[in-house]
Amino acid sequence: MTTPDQAAVLVDADEHRGGTGTARFVLRKIVEAVVSILLVIVLFFFLFRLLPGDPVATMIRDRPTSPQQLAELRQRMGVDDPVLVQFGRYLWGLLHGDLGESYLFTGRPVADMIGERLWPTVLLVGSATLLAVVIGLWLGIRAAWRRDSFFDRAQTGIALTLWSVPQFWLGLMLLVSTGGLFPSRGMHSPDAAPDFLSQTLDVAHHLVLPCVTLLAVFYAQYMLIMRSSLLGEMNADYLTTARAKGLRDELVRRRHAVPNALLPTTTLVFMQLGMVVAGAITVEAVFSWPGLGLLTYDALHGPDLPVLQGVFTVLASAVVLMNLLAELLYRVLDPRVRTS
Amino acid sequence: MTTAETPRQIAWKRRRDGLARSWQGFAGQKPALIGLILLGATVVLALLLPLISDESGLDVTKATGGPLRPPSADYWLGTDNYGRSVLLMTMWGSRISLLVGFSAALLSVVIGTLIGITAAHFGGWVSATLLRFTDFFLVLPSLILAIALSAVLPKGVGTIILAIGLTAWPSTARLVRAQTLTIESRPYIERAHALGGGHLHVIGKHVLPGVMPLVLANTTLVVGNAVIADATLSFLGVGDPNSVTWGLVLENALNNGAISAGAWWNVLPPGIAIVLVVLMFTLVGRGLETVFNPRLKK
């Protein structure tokens, strides 16, 4: 995990060297992202196919398997071919959207399994991030503007405490303490009416607990980042100027201070998406939310290595793409970087 | 009579004074001091556990209480579904958590420091490559990498330590690199080079002592993260199945009916323990940072 202080370093340390045109900058970033995704593919191939020594032996370690089944499984996964041949075949499959076949659900294409689990995760991560950003930024702005006030101290204290809370535990506590007020598992109730409105309300009802759990830890992050970012602007000359013009305190904050402080925060929101995704794995496991996290959790108990490899490759690539987006967005948002 | 001090003595005196000053700065912060005292007490308690409690109570076959009993005079924090004392399990869980926390943090900080110093000191393509490498791992969610590692390696405490240690280093590397660059831009490094100091001399005698304080502060923060990561991995079922950990108690609560039975006493104690331990490390870490990080001084 990165703390806000460390995360702030990331943005600071980002290259602000001038001299390159926007086109070259965009191109360089895209090439870097492509290289990163290739590295992700190689890394997870190494982790799941080579590191276990014999992936087939790892997968069957807790269950009785006949020599026949073993031979068939080895043949299906192609583990007896040379490594480079295996990797070549894997890459060729990737280009065609083929992520291999599941082991637990015999022969099911991993890409299909990921496809049908994608949308619940996007819904959960998306709604939690949106709410966390709105709440976090709002509280962060309030806290920084009234620095060292009771509100600031209380908010920072709460945020730091939530920071130390493992997400899955918060989820378990919510489950125990709300006692049946919200559904505890899954995404749909079997008895919900089939019309669109009832279905939507039903999903929303199921979404409440997992979303609140994810939100509670991440809003704290955004709040701390926004707070420190705004504190950095508080003594800037342009704020003195704005006040000298006779602007009301609220206008100074809203029109002058906040937009500048938002710059580093915006990119950090994207950069933290990787952590939100990682958090979603445990939260989905707690609430049996049928997304990629629950798929991971179930696959871990095999272990279903092809599924894990597929899910992690997809998640990591998504995080790389989000970072690319963040870097490009920063360029658009910050005129200083654009013109330099 | 002149009591001429040798350079070595002068250096040691200076170090002692510096240490005393740092300690005063640290002890002057109440939260940090409280964190340190509580942390010390926790570590001592964890070490003394075999003397003051009976380990056999952790064995499901030797459990004495009834299943899922609420807190009572005999079982202060109630029992789990096997009839084991939750208090006992929570106390014993601290041993693995602290062991994993410290070892994994140490491993990751050593890796991070080595990579950070190398990336800053040598410059050129070595630096560029290492920096890209670090950024790559910084972007990837470390928890996902840790899950992947612990899924494919044989289950056990060693695997968890490796999995967390090998994935948590990038932020340390970034921090150390920045600090090394600051130190190496100073004139005395140029002087050391001019006097014929090699890479090892400059790194060992000048860079490392300058980086260590910040690394120390960073380590305590990393331990807290490692404790959370350890609990998460055991909760997900990739931890050591043979030792009682906080994550495992919580996993057991979810999968064996304690949650649906509303047995909050199975969930609250291990979680509070995690939060407290992480908070202690955070308090100590923030205190050290305030002392050692010149940018935070007022």
Nearest to A319 among B139, B238, B275 (CB): B139
What angle is formed at CA A49 by the lines to CA A47 and CA A53, rounded to 5 degrees? 95
B285 contacts on A by Cβ (under 8 Å): none
CATH homologous superfamily of B75-296 = MetI-like (1.10.3720.10)
Contact A1/B259, CB-based, under 8 Å? no
Helix, strand, or coil (residue B74): coil
Write down the pLDDT at residue A268: 77
What percent of chain B shows pLDDT beyond 70? 97
Burial of B157 (0-12, 13-18, 19+ CB in 10 A): middle
pLDDT range class, residue A337, cuts 50, 70, 90: low
Of A3-7, A31-35, A198-202, B209-213, the poorest mean pLDDT is in A3-7
Of A7-16, A54-63, A268-277, B168-177, the poorest mean pLDDT is in A7-16
* Residue positions counted in chain A: 340
- b/e sequence B89-106, b meaning 16+ C-beta within 10 Å: bbbbbbbbbbbbbbbbbb
pLDDT range class, residue A1, cuts 50, 70, 90: very low
Q: Searching chain A, which residue's CA lies closest to the CA of residue B148?
A: A47
Write down the pLDDT at residue A68: 81
Distances (CA, A) of B281 to A30, A315, B34, B220: 39, 30, 11, 6
Write down the pLDDT at residue B2: 56
Mean pLDDT confidence for B284-294: 82
Q: Which of B133, B159, B235 is the best substitution to test chain A (most A C-beta atoms within 10 A)?
A: B235
Q: Searching chain A, which residue's CA lies closest to the CA of residue B263?
A: A176
Helix, strand, or coil (residue A307): helix
Write down the pLDDT at residue B294: 63
Quick: pLDDT tens for B15-62.
888 888 888 888 888 888 999 999 999 999 999 988 888 777 777 777
Written as six digits, the tokens of B5 are: 């001090």
Residue B244 CB partners (closer than 8 Å, separation 6+): B58, B89, B92, B93, B96
Query: What ipTM was assigned to the predicted interfaces of this complex?
Result: 0.84
Write down the pLDDT at residue A335: 67
pLDDT range class, residue B169, cuts 50, 70, 90: very high
Write down the pLDDT at residue A311: 93
Write down the pLDDT at residue A4: 43
Write down the pLDDT at residue A338: 58
Cis peptide before B269 (omega within 30 of 0): no
Q: Give the closest-approach CA distance of A281 to chain B in angstroms.
A: 9
Instruction: Please state, rounded to an integer, the average pLDDT across all residues of chain B.
Output: 87
Q: Which of A 266-305 lie inside 8 A of B, CB atoms?
A: 271, 274-275, 277-278, 281-282, 285-286, 296-297, 300-301, 303, 305
Burial of B232 (0-12, 13-18, 19+ CB in 10 A): buried
B278 contacts on A by Cβ (under 8 Å): 164
What is the rounded (10 degree) CA torsion for B215, B220, B224, B229? 40
Map tokens 């950070």 to a residue. Answer: B116
With 60 as the cut, is the pLDDT of residue A17 above it?
Answer: no
Give domain limits for chain B.
75-296
Nearest to A160 among B141, B270, B282 (CB): B282
B259 contacts on A by Cβ (under 8 Å): 172, 175-176, 184
Domains of chain A: 11-50+81-338 (1.10.3720.10)
Write down the pLDDT at residue B3: 65
CB pairs under 8 A between A and B: 143
A51 contacts on B by Cβ (under 8 Å): 149, 152-153
Written as six digits, the tokens of B246 are: 């906080």
Map tokens 């190689």 to a residue. Answer: A42
Distances (CA, A) of B161 to A164, A320, B75, B78, B234: 20, 26, 32, 31, 12
Q: Searching chain B, which residue's CA lies closest to the CA of residue A4?
A: B171
pLDDT range class, residue A339, cuts 50, 70, 90: low
Quick: pLDDT tens for B236-282.
989 888 888 999 999 988 888 788 887 888 899 999 999 999 989 98
With 70 as the cut, is the pLDDT of residue B296 above it?
Answer: no
Q: Which of B140, B159, B250 is the best substitution to test chain A (most A C-beta atoms within 10 A)?
A: B140
Q: Which of B152, B162, B169, B260 is the best substitution to test chain A (most A C-beta atoms within 10 A)?
A: B152
B263 contacts on A by Cβ (under 8 Å): 176
With 80 as the cut, is the pLDDT of residue A13 above it?
Answer: no
pLDDT range class, residue A264, cuts 50, 70, 90: confident
pLDDT range class, residue A11, cuts 50, 70, 90: very low
Written as six digits, the tokens of B85 are: 């004392």
pLDDT range class, residue B297, cuts 50, 70, 90: low
Contact A179/B262, CB-based, under 8 Å? yes
Write down the pLDDT at residue A292: 93
Q: How far apart are CA A72 and CA A49, in angstroms?
A: 17
Contact B152/A160, CB-based, under 8 Å? no
pLDDT range class, residue A128, cuts 50, 70, 90: very high
Mean pLDDT confidence for B10-14: 87
Q: Rg for chain B (alpha carbons), in Å? A: 23
Q: Searching chain A, which residue's CA lies closest to the CA of residue B248?
A: A169
Contact B236/A169, CB-based, under 8 Å? no
With 70 as the cut, is the pLDDT of residue A12 above it?
Answer: no
With 50 as the cut, is the pLDDT of residue A10 above it?
Answer: no
Contact B228/A1, CB-based, under 8 Å? yes
Quick: pLDDT tens for A78-122.
777 788 888 888 899 888 888 888 877 777 899 999 999 999 999
Instruction: Please state, rounded to an integer, the average pLDDT across all residues of chain A.
Output: 83
Beta-bridge mates of residue B85: B79
Mean pLDDT confidence for B67-79: 79
Mean pLDDT confidence for A246-256: 85
SS3 percent helix, strand, coil of chain B, rounded to 5, is: 75, 0, 25
Contact B151/A300, CB-based, under 8 Å? yes
Residue A310 CA to its chain's centroid (Å): 16
Write down the pLDDT at residue B209: 85
Write down the pLDDT at residue A86: 86
Q: Which of A 91-120 lie inside 8 A of B, CB atoms?
A: none
Q: Searching chain B, which residue's CA lies closest to the CA of residue A273?
A: B141
What percent of chain A shows pLDDT beyond 70? 92
Quick: pLDDT tens for B59-68.
777 777 777 7
Write down the pLDDT at residue A221: 82
